[in-house]
Amino acid sequence: MLLDVTGITNLTSNIWELCLSGPFPYQRVQAGQFINILINQGKDHILRRPISIAEVDTNKKSLTIVFRVVGQGTEWLSQRQVGDQLNIIGPLGTGFQLPAKNSKVVVVGGGIGVPPLYQLVKELKQITNDLTIILGFRNQADCFWVERFAKLGQVLVATNDGSFGTKGFVTDLLDTKANYEYLYSCGPRGMLQALKNHCQGINIQGYVSLEERMACGVGACYGCVCSSADRKLHYRICKEGPVFNWEEVAL
């Protein structure tokens, strides 16, 4: 599919927000899914780059992605301009499973794991009012989209150095006595592990979004697997994931 770039905004020193519109099955998008983007017509890079869908607007027929520049592919993406076109496939993967109505929910995002939770929070708002949003960043300069989330619910922010919000980690802000029923998270693998440990012993459904280097992005190559909790099975992150119940997978 060819989508038009309708906006590109620099959020932090190396994080960018890109808006796309054009023919795309917007209705089919499940929060937590991703698109797979071809870089420069595949000329310099034969593998597409997977980027999560941060927001989808079915009316305006547009979708938003947010990415961090870490290499040549994301560097190229950051240089796109309004009017350029992106060759993408998607939506891909299995997204977040929504909770029962009026559940008590906490959403925890870390760094570049924050934006994939935005569409989820938008949908959660339709289902429940008991929603806590915890966001973690390295420092104030790395913070983004905090106000955007604040419009949808109560937001707690942790930064490693305390330059914004509370000093510390997201786990410091996650009250295990708050009787949360559902936890949704996206962020570095270490943060997801810490969260799961932190919630050990409490009765909570945890859903986490995982990452792995991908080739096909559609489930055909078995490149992007993660282990089941008992390590006896593999799941394809691009097809059975990227979102898993954290009881199912070995973090």
Ligand X SMILES: Cc1cc2nc3c(=O)[nH]c(=O)nc-3n(C[C@H](O)[C@H](O)[C@H](O)COP(=O)(O)OP(=O)(O)OC[C@H]3O[C@@H](n4cnc5c(N)ncnc54)[C@H](O)[C@@H]3O)c2cc1C
Ligand Y SMILES: Cc1cc2nc3c(=O)[nH]c(=O)nc-3n(C[C@H](O)[C@H](O)[C@H](O)COP(=O)(O)O)c2cc1C
Query: To the nearest whole angstrom, how small is the minimum distance from the Cβ of residue 209 to ligand X?
Result: 7
CA distance 168 to 92: 34
Which one among 30, 52, 62, 119 touches ligand X, defined by CB under 6 A?
52
150 binds, among ligand X, another protein, ligand FES, none (CB under 5 to 8 A by kind): none
H/E segment holding residue 246 = none
Does residue 196 belong to the site contacting ligand X (CB under 6 A)? no
Strand 85-92 relative to strand 34-37, pairing: antiparallel
Q: Which residues bind another protein (CB under 8 A)?
A: 38, 42, 45-48, 89, 212-227, 233-234, 239
Q: Considering beta carbons, is residue 47 or 69 the nearer one to another protein?
A: 47
> How many residues sit close enough to ligand X to count as binding (CB under 6 A)?
22
**Which one, 183 or 216, has the nearer CB to ligand FES?**
216
Structure-token match 């299995």, residue found: 94
Terminal C-alpha separation, the chain: 33
Question: Which of ligand X, another protein, ligand Y, none does residue 218 bind (CB under 5 to 8 Å by kind)?
Answer: another protein
Q: How far is the CB of 224 from another protein (least distance, A)?
A: 7
Q: Pick between residue 50 and residue 128 the one whose CB is nearest to ligand X.
A: 50
Give the burial string for 127-162 (b: 16+ CB within 10 Å, else e).
ebebbbbbbbbeeeebbbbeebbeeebebbbbbeee
The answer to whether the beta carbons of residues 68 and 129 sit under 8 Å apart is no
Element (DSSP H or E) covering residue 4: strand 2-12
Put residue 111 in one of left, alpha, beta given phi > 0 → left and psi -120 to 50 → alpha: left
Site residues for ligand Y, 84-103, by CB under 6 A, read none
- What is the C-alpha to C-alpha distance for residues 155 and 141, in angstroms, rounded to an integer? 18
Rounded to the nearest whole angstrom, what is the least distance from the CB of residue 26 to another protein in the complex? 17
Site for ligand Y in 217-246 (CB under 6 A): 221, 223
Judged by CB, which is closer to another protein: 124, or 216? 216
- 113, 188 Cβ separation under 8 angstroms: yes
Please check whether residue 118 is in contact with residue 148, taking contact to mean a CB–CB distance below 8 angstroms: yes
- Residue length, the chain? 251
Q: Which is nearer to another protein, 23 or 42 (CB)?
A: 42
One character per residue 192-221, x = contact with ligand Y (rule: CB under 6 A): -----------------------x-----x
Q: Which stretch binds ligand FES (CB under 6 A): 65-73, 83-91, 133-141, 222-230?
A: 222-230
Residues that bind ligand Y (CB under 6 A): 215, 221, 223
Residues that bind ligand FES (CB under 6 A): 214-217, 219-224, 236, 238
